[in-house]
Amino acid sequence: MDALPQIMVAPNGARRTTRDHPSVPMQLDDTIATALACKAAGAGGLHAHVRDTDGGHILDAGLYLELLAEMKHRAPDFTVQITTEAVGQYTPKEQRALVTAVMPDFVSIALREMVAGEDDKDLCKFYHWAYVSGIGVQHILYTPEEVLKLASFVEKGVIPAQDLEVLFVLGRYSTNQQSSVSDMSPFVANATQVLKDADWALCAFGQQETSCLAEAVRQGGKARIGFENNLHNSDGSIAVDNAERVHELVAELKREKLADMPN
């Protein structure tokens, strides 16, 4: 199956382990195998977390470089995005050091984690260095208010206005982390108002993940799917693996004739 650029798979995240589901990838070989299976199912990219030898979250340049090299060898046309997610363990300075050491093509950075207590001059230096270095930064936004906050950093010149990419995290603070399609509206409304040219994507929690992501694509966005946010298919069953989640979304996009929409 041809990979769809609208779909990125997030197969593990920072917290879930094989105790949550036996198919959550924990080590590099598992992550690579999962990525390739999801590519075959139709995903166009990987949102990658790496783990330490005990399966814990870690920001490790060596592990990321190993993953990127192997994925480039095994699937050179498959986008791989690393993350700087702090999970309360890493400072903004340590997050920036990871990006500097790895020099990835693509990285996701939670706005709230990177800017907390930091001097605008340090932030400006980092974000503009990343832009000039050709590193695509996807700004993770957890609330509609953070869309406005990102816009304020862009207006001040701290974050480059060019080639803005954002990810809306839908339902992170909803009851039992169950997202609904209606949760998307305030994110999109704020982005339409203050980030008109931003390339946006969405991830969602819970059983309505597929519906939320299909609506995002319908509205011109992209979709991030996988066990990082949700283990369930739309019918309530537990997915066999990440590839099954990708396959369900691909089937929905094809059914609605959304799979070939430009984005």
pLDDT at site 2: 74
The whole-number pLDDT of residue 26 equals 97
> Does any domain span residue 263?
no
Residue 72 included in any domain? yes
Least Cα distance to 92 among 116, 72, 75 occurs for 116
- In a domain? residue 262: no
Q: Is the separation of the CB atoms in 258 and 221 below 8 Å?
A: no
What are the structure tokens assigned to 215, written together?
A: 């609506």
- How many Å from the N-terminal Cα to the C-terminal Cα in the chain? 19
Q: Is 206:171 a contact under the CB 8 Å cutoff?
A: yes
- Tell me, yes or no, whether 125 lies in a domain: yes
Residue type, 29: D
At 258, list the tokens.
Answer: 């959304």
Q: Per DSSP, what are the bridge partners of residue 9?
A: 46, 225
**DSSP helix/strand/coil, 81:** strand
The CATH number linked to 151 is: 3.20.20.70
Place of tokens 């190993």: 66
Q: Which residue has the higher pLDDT, 175 or 2?
A: 2
Question: Does residue 200 lie within any of the structural domains?
Answer: yes
Q: Is the model's pLDDT at 257 over the cut of 90?
A: no
Residue 9 lies in a domain: yes
Which residues constitute the domain of residue 100? 4-255
260 domain residue, yes or no: no
The whole-number pLDDT of residue 183 equals 93
The reported pLDDT for the residue numbered 173 is: 57
Note whether residue 261 is domain-resident: no
Domain count, the chain: 1
* Residue 174 pLDDT: 57
